[in-house]
Amino acid sequence: MNGRVHGEDVPFSVKQGERVEKTFMNPTGMSHPMHLHGHHFQVVGVGGRRVIGALRDTVMVPPHMPVTIAFDAGPKGEWFLHCHHLYHMATGMMAVVKVV
C-alpha cells in the first residue's frame, strides 16, 4: 500500500476525531476486499464519482477502479488496514492507521 509492503511502510498518522478520506487505487485484474480495524467507514466515491454509500468496515475494490472511503478517526492506537484475502495479507498488502 502506498507503494510499500507492510514492514517497509510508514503508518498513516491521523488525529483522533479527524474526518479522514482514503482512496484505494486498484491497478490489478482482481477485486480486493479492503478492511479497516476498529472503525466503520462510509464509501464516498467509486470510479472517481462521489456517492453516498452505506456504513461498513470492509469494501470490495473492483479491478481498475478507485474507491474512496471516509471515516472519523476513533480510539487512539494503531489499527490495521488490509486486504481481506489472506494470501494478500501474507505478502504485505496491509498498513497501519495510527490515531494520535
- 93 within domain boundaries: yes
CB 35 within 8 A of CB 84: yes
Q: Which three cell numbers stand for residue 18?
A: 479527524
Asked whether residue 27 is assigned to any structural domain, the reply reads yes
Instruction: Answer whether residue 5 is part of any domain.
Output: no
Q: What is the pLDDT of residues 8-52, one digit of tens each?
A: 888 999 999 999 999 999 999 999 999 999 999 999 999 999 999
Domain-embedded: residue 77: yes
In the numeric block, the cell 476486499 is attached to 33
Identity at 64, one-letter amino acid code: H
Beta bridge partners of 36: 81
The pTM for the full model equals 0.90
Higher pLDDT, 74 or 90: 74
CA distance 32 to 59: 8
